Amino acid sequence: MNRIAAKSPPRRTARPGPSADAADSLDHLWRTLPGLLAAADDWALRDVLNAGVAAYTSTAETPAGLLIRHDPDGARHLVRVNLDGPDTVIRRL
């Protein structure tokens, strides 16, 4: 009589959790990541301004439909961008 044997599935072993050093490194990354991203944004802004071009940014507090214009001379203005002409300056910041 022929016997057919079913192949049993491989055994799964529990994965060990991250080491304490890896967990500390991950926590450190999450704490420092926002600062690293902000520094990268500042670098790009400075690069554009150093080229003599105005740069536009916004924050969570920037009113809808408006942007913050950073001029190469250091001035900052809250503006409404007009594609057909100069920006409408709402106020100097």
Radius of gyration for the chain, computed over Cα atoms and rounded to the nearest angstrom:
28
Domain-embedded: residue 9:
no
Domain-embedded: residue 32:
yes
- Classify 41 as helix, strand or coil: helix
When divided into structural domains, the chain yields a total of 1
Tell me what percent of the residues of the chain surpass a pLDDT of 70. 67
Domain-embedded: residue 7:
no
- pTM listed for this prediction: 0.57
| Dist CA 78 CA 91 (whole Å) | 5
69 φ, ψ (degrees, to nearest 5):
-100, 125
Domain-embedded: residue 5:
no
Tokens encoding 62:
């920037």
| Dist CA 64 CA 73 (whole Å) | 26
Domain-embedded: residue 43:
yes
Q: For residue range 8-45, list pLDDT tens digits in order.
A: 555 655 555 556 676 677 777 777 767 766 666 677 88
Domain-embedded: residue 12:
no
Q: Give the residue, 10 or 3, on which the prediction is more confident.
A: 10
CB 79 within 8 A of CB 67: yes
Q: Give the residue, 64 or 9, on which the prediction is more confident.
A: 64
Domain-embedded: residue 57:
yes
Say what the pLDDT of residue 78 is. 97
Domain-embedded: residue 71:
yes
- Reported confidence tier of residue 1, pLDDT bands at 50, 70, 90: very low
Mean pLDDT of the chain: 79
Q: Domain residues for 76? A: 23-92
Tokens encoding 42:
């500042």
